[in-house]
Amino acid sequence: MKKSLQLTILAVISMFILAACGSDGEKESGSDSGGEKYIIGATQILEHPSLDAATEGFKKAIEDAGINAEIDYQSAQNDMNNVAVIADKFVADGVDLIFANSTPSALGAQNATSDIPILFTSVTDAVDADLIESMESPGGNITGVVDLHPDAIEKTIEFIDQYFKDAKVGVIYNAGEQNSVAQMKAIEEIADGTSLTLIERTVATSADVQQAAMSLAGDIDVFYIFTDNTVVSALDSVVDIANEQQIPLIVGEPDSVELGGFASYGFDYYSIGYRTGEMAAEILKDGKKPSEISAEYPPELKLYINKEAAEAQGIEWNTDWDDAEIIE
């Protein structure tokens, strides 16, 4: 009787263990290669194409490096409370490394731990956000790849000034996003002295974006939507208004060009995620510390143009753009 009871208890425990392993849909395994297995906590502020591409690039680099890793992916759903909860969970779970995809996610991870290695990407200005001491010598337990090329905003403003002279430029951003405030400051500084006039609207949530765009439509000649997470997550509403009112829509990255923006100076977010994954390999396989890996800028910029969007927004084609990367 006693032996039968022991066998029953063992069977129940085994069932619970199997159920726990099979029910975790948020975790993904990396390479099946042997060796030590690592747990990586991966998080981003919300889902949109650029951030998603960076996460996929990171995962691919981990796979290509032959790292045996379980990736626990968590989205904060654009909720700052969730950012802290996710970071604290990673620390409590004792993950080996945190991949933080966005400025809020990186700040949340940094606030949660000074010991676990943190790698960021899709961060606009890591120094200004107090994530790192400098690009060359990040210090602490964090480094990564920023998503703002030093020339991106300057080239974009020059493009608007050259092809839409004397334009009133409507800009929408979330003043609660530190990366957006930094970009807006740079835009104002670079636009000063050009023929352009900036007209700003701020939003708090993605639900506010459509109304902000509508309020600008009658007063502007060009929209400029940079890489603000809140606004980009509701870009379709800006695209609809730009097309209806035939207002050129300049955007901050190629994924937004694919979604209906007219033009952008940018790069592939997959590439910066992949490079961040390579940094993870340096930490997990080679034993480097984040402080020993310089933070990096994205690769060389290209001009991306959506010809269908140009037509929808009433833009006459210029032969200067023939060499651009055309997105259909």
The answer to whether residues 113 and 262 belong to one domain is no
pLDDT for 46-90, tens place per residue?
Answer: 998 999 999 999 999 999 999 999 999 999 999 999 999 999 999
pLDDT of residue 94: 98
Name the domain count of the chain.
2
Whole-number Å distance between alpha carbons of 269 and 291? 23
The answer to whether residues 257 and 272 belong to one domain is no
Q: Is residue 14 part of a domain?
A: no
pLDDT for 280-324, tens place per residue?
Answer: 999 999 999 999 999 999 988 999 999 999 999 999 999 999 999
Helices marked H in 95-224? 103-112, 152-163, 178-191, 209-217
The answer to whether residues 113 and 128 belong to one domain is yes
Name the one residue in this structure whose structure tokens are 């032996």.
3
The answer to whether residues 132 and 52 belong to one domain is yes
The answer to whether residues 169 and 261 belong to one domain is yes
pLDDT of residue 30: 52
Is 243 strand, coil or helix?
A: helix
The answer to whether residues 235 and 203 belong to one domain is yes
pLDDT for 24-52, tens place per residue?
Answer: 334 555 544 457 999 999 999 999 899 99
The answer to whether residues 179 and 319 belong to one domain is yes
Mean pLDDT across 247-271 = 96
Question: Structure pTM?
Answer: 0.77
Residue with more model confidence, 11 or 326: 326
**Which whole-number Å values give the CA distances from 80 to 46, 135, 172, 176, 323, in the listed order?**
10, 26, 20, 11, 41
Helices marked H in the chain? 2-23, 49-64, 80-93, 103-112, 152-163, 178-191, 209-217, 229-232, 235-245, 254-258, 269-284, 307-312
The answer to whether residues 140 and 48 belong to one domain is yes
The answer to whether residues 45 and 139 belong to one domain is yes
